């Protein structure tokens, strides 16, 4: 089973970079983006990392699903994803095309 790969997004600059000091990380499967590891920002009260994944819905559309578990670091979120890759892949990701 293919594991997830990850690619950091560019860090925000200027005033936005003050409130968002860490970049998000794209989650990829089969070289296509399927979600994001969301970095803590000024809007997050617990200062932890989150995961957001895109799945195809039965009605032909797609939607985001947010993982309830929160993580103390980005490497912890990456490890959690790769431990569950087989189960997550069977649920039907929505693959985003690259620009």
Closest to 54 in 3D by CA, of 5, 95, 2:
95
- What CA–CA distance (Å, rounded) separates 4 from 53? 12
Return the pLDDT at 13.
Answer: 86
**Could you read off the pLDDT tens digit of each residue along the chain, which spans 99 residues?**
678 999 999 888 888 888 888 899 999 988 899 999 999 988 888 899 999 999 988 888 899 999 999 999 999 999 999 998 888 888 888 888 765
Strand 62-66's sheet: what is its strand order? 5-8, 25-29, 32-38, 50-56, 62-66
């Amino acid at each position: 089973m293919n594991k997830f790969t990850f690619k950091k997004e560019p860090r925000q600059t200027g005033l936005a970079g003050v409130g968002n000091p860490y970049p998000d990380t794209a989650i990829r499967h089969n070289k296509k983006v399927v979600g994001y590891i969301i970095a803590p920002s000024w809007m997050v009260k617990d200062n932890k990392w989150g995961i957001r994944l895109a799945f195809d819905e039965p009605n032909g559309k797609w939607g985001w699903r947010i993982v309830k578990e929160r993580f103390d670091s980005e490497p912890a979120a990456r490890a959690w994803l790769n431990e569950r890759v087989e189960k997550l892949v069977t649920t039907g990701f929505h693959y985003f095309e690259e620009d």
